[in-house]
Amino acid sequence: MSVAPALQANATLERYRTLFEERFTSGPLLEARRDALDAFLKRGFPTQRDEQWKYTSLRRLEARTFVLGEAAPVSLEPARRPWITHGGGFRLVFVNGHWAPALSSPMAQPPGVTLVTLGEWVKHEPDAVLEYLAQASHRSASALEQLNAAFFEDGLVIRLSPNARVDDPIHVVHVWTSTTRPAMAHPRVLVRAGHHSSCTLIEQYVCCGEPESFTNVVAILDLEEGAQVQHYRLQQESPKAFHIGHIDVCVRRDARYGIHDFSLGATLSRLNIRVRLQEPGAHTDLHGLLPPSGTQHLDTHTLIEHIAPHTTSTENYRGIADGRGRGVFNGKVLVHPGAQKTDAHQSSRNLLLSPTAEFNAKPELEIYADDVKCSHGATIGQLDATALFYLRSRGISEADARVLLIHAFAHAVLASVETPAVREHLEALLAARFGSTQVTS
């Protein structure tokens, strides 16, 4: 009897092998894919025995059977499409994991930028892809990243030439349509920002209807000397969706990487962000908002590695848990030996709106250098009773006062959003989520 669960688990994993054999039968990447698949099957899905997954169980995900997503039309008229439709710059839309040219901006390349879909890249430069995969496998070695490496089909490759300054945002949309069977996709987003180049990347995960989907995306970004990338990530998947994301960033000398993580959707979401500050002067700032409600489980794990001296990081995460929602934030800062003059600040503040909501916030500092400035703070609490009374004593109803205070709390993260179209979109999403006040202002 005791072997039954193990057998069952193997049977689950074997489904991935069957799916793989059906989909991938030839081509230059087959061997690399198979190696990745074997690595995944050997390790399986992470379990809660793994310290990194202590608060997040993937058993529900593991128990489900997914087919690979297929291209499909999006019938919604433009005004009702769930993604940012104005001021988005260069837009590339992927439907169920596949590039949808009809929904995307014409592939006219902005000066200094090369945008290629991963599908096209594999078709035309398989050797370059293989070389890239070999490099990437050193960086992204977790079981779920291996699963992505086995199954990835499409995605986006962005290359910025040295000194290229791209003012309009590059907007990548991943949309799920209603599928008859639960479906999965393993897209990739690759960014190579040449020295002193800059761009804004908007990554958006949305859905039409409430599909049962599984997204397992890997994003790899390389910022050369002096490059600047602002990365907005809006995860608005279906309430029946599983979303796993991996972001791996390498920041070179005097380059700056900023990420704004809005993990709003999915029944279960897990985002791993790893930023390596590789050379002196490298800087990163991480902003995040995790608002689990209903029975949602939203988890972001961040790892900032200060590898070189004179590197700086700031991190500001906020959680707002309602209903029976559960949030997890784990922020690790690792200061390598010799990374003197590191300056790292982290703040995680979390709000519980209901007695059944839960938040696990954990800062982790690991420091192997002695001349550094590191600080962290994590708080978990309820709406401030004094502030509520203050607003009510000015004639504002209790319900409106609550809404005002919740928005004010989220504002600390929203304020980091500089692209107006993204900010307006988020404001509308948060108003729909937390309600808007009845007062006229």
Partner 1 sequence: MLRIDNLHVRAGEKEILTGVTLHVAPGEVHAIMGPNGSGKSTLVQVLAGREGYEVTAGSVTYQGRDLLALAPEERAREGVFLAFQYPVEIPGVNNAYLLKAALNAIRKHRGEPEVDAFEFLALVREKMKLMQMDESFLSRGVNEGFSGGEKKRNEILQMAVLEPTLALLDETDSGLDIDALRVVANGVNSLRRPDRAIVMVTHYQRLLDYIEPDKVHVLAGGRIAKTGDKSLALELEKRGYDWIKQEAA
Encoding tokens for residue 276? 């390596």
* Torsion, Cα of 423, 428, 429, 432 (10° steps): 160
CB 68 within 8 A of CB 23: yes
Q: Closer to partner 1 at the Cβ: 186 or 349?
A: 349
231: helix, strand or coil: strand
Minimum distance, C-beta of residue 403 to partner 1, in the bound complex (Å): 10
CB-nearer residue toward partner 1: 98 or 402: 402
H helix or E strand, kind and range, residue 245 = strand 242-251
Of 222, 166, 230, 232, the C-alpha closest to 195 is 222
Question: To the nearest whole angstrom, how small is the minimum distance from the Cβ of residue 22 to partner 1?
Answer: 52
The stretch among 160-168, 225-233, 423-431, 433-441 that binds partner 1 (CB under 8 A) is 433-441
φ, ψ at 47 (rounded to 5°): -115, 170
Work out how close the CB of 314 gets to partner 1 at its nearest, in angstroms, rounded to a whole number: 17
Residues 6+ apart with CB under 8 A from 10: none
* Count of residues engaged in binding partner 1, rule: CB under 8 A: 29
Positive or negative torsion for Cα 216, 222, 226, 227: negative
> Nearest approach, Cβ of 344 to partner 1 (angstroms)?
23
Q: Which residues pair with 251 in a beta bridge?
A: 223, 277
The distance from CA 182 to its chain's CA centroid, rounded to whole angstroms, is 21
Nearest partner of 167 among 250, 111, 223, judged by Cα = 111
At its nearest, how many Å lie between partner 1 and the CB of residue 44?
44
Which is it for the CA torsion 382, 386, 388, 391, positive or negative?
Answer: negative
Interface pattern 379-418 for partner 1 (x via CB under 8 A): -----xxxx-xxxxxxxxxx-xx--xx-xxxxxx--x---
Q: Check if the beta carbon of residue 12 is closer than 8 Å to that of residue 61.
A: no
What is the Cα–Cα distance from 414 to 260, expressed in whole angstroms? 9
Nearer to partner 1, 368 or 390 (CB): 390
- SS3 category, 392: helix
Residue 436 touches partner 1, criterion: CB under 8 A: no
| Minimum CB distance to partner 1, residue 269 (Å) | 25
Sites for partner 1 among residues 297-336 (CB under 8 A): none
**At 422, which amino acid appears?**
V
Q: Using CB under 8 A, which residues numbered 95 to 114 contact partner 1?
A: none
**Identity of the residue, 303 or 405, whose beta carbon is nearer to partner 1 in the bound complex:** 405
| Contact characters 201-240, partner 1, x per CB under 8 A | ----------------------------------------
Residue from the set 25, 75, 180, 440 that interacts with partner 1 by CB under 8 A: 440
Please report how close the Cβ of residue 154 comes to partner 1 at its closest, in angstroms: 39
Q: Find the shortest distance in angstroms from Cβ 377 to partner 1.
A: 16
Partners of 201 in the β-ladder: 170, 231
Residue 47 interacting with partner 1 (CB under 8 A)? no
Residues that bind partner 1 (CB under 8 A): 384-387, 389-398, 400-401, 404-405, 407-412, 415, 437, 439-441
